[in-house]
Amino acid sequence: MIIRSSRELKALYHELRPGDIFISTLTYKHLKQSVLIDLLERGITCLPSPLSQTLNSSKAAQALVLKTWMLPHTFVITRRTDLMDTINQYNKLGVAHVVTKEDHLHCGHGVRKWDTIETLYSFMALSESSYPFVVQPFLENFTDIRVIIVGDYVEAYVRHNPNNFRMNISSGGKNYPYTLDKDQEKFCRAAMERGKFPFAHLDLHNTDNGKYYLSEIALNGGLKGASISRKELDQKKQHLLESLVITK
């Protein structure tokens, strides 16, 4: 049996058998991880993969699993002890300004800059509910590149905002086309493979010294600045998922 929507999945949930296939992203708001684990345990194939769907909804999970591709000294903070350990490391490295990313927030709304990590620690003393979150050194100068990869389709463009370090076009930024080189594409596809993403919207930060790092990755993302339409991109994604079913 092949199920192609969350509504259909919910209706037939208890009738699923090993070998059945679910082609869509889960819409369960609070039970997503529990449902994904249950489907895995029951032998149900999920496309996109359960790992990619989990990473898609959690910046903390991305930083844990895809740390190799991210800016050095990026950490997931799950409790006060983690933050204290990171303070020690950052002070040894001479890291002053830091950036935090709140879990589950998108469009740059959860990205915050702190003058010192001690300021962050003082704030967190009164905000236990903010865990987990991601912390990393603040990049003073970088080029923000949005990359869209679906099978053989690859598109990239620069997002720039001189008035906001977040760079998001939705926050007033501008965009212009960018030609991704082979090494950058290989870098992106390696991160996708590790996270089991069949397709992805990736944000890269290119530094002045020629290095580049993964900032975030998602199954779906904004298309402001892209030449492809939402309808055409969704069709490419669905076609790719359907082709993966044939290989199962």
In this prediction, residue 158 has a pLDDT band, given cuts at 50, 70 and 90, of: very high
Q: Which fold has domain 142-247?
A: D-amino Acid Aminotransferase; Chain A, domain 1 (3.30.470)
Phi-psi region of 73 (alpha: psi -120 to 50; beta: other; left: phi over 0): left
Residue type, 218: A
186-222 confidence digits (pLDDT tens): 999 999 999 999 999 999 999 988 899 999 999 998 8
Taking residues 228-234, report their average pLDDT. Answer: 96
Report how far residue 104's alpha carbon sits from residue 216's, in angstroms, rounded to the nearest whole number: 12
Using alpha carbons only, give the angle 198, 204, 210 rounded to the nearest 5 degrees: 130
Domains 72-137 and 142-247 share a fold: no
Percent of the chain whose predicted confidence (pLDDT) is above 70: 92
Decide yes or no: CATH 3.20.20.30 for domain 72-137: no
Please say if the pLDDT value at position 121 is more than 60. Answer: yes
Domain ranges of the chain: 2-47, 72-137, 142-247
Please say if the pLDDT value at position 169 is more than 60. Answer: no
pTM: predicted TM-score of the whole model, two decimal places: 0.90
Taking residues 4-33, report their average pLDDT. Answer: 92
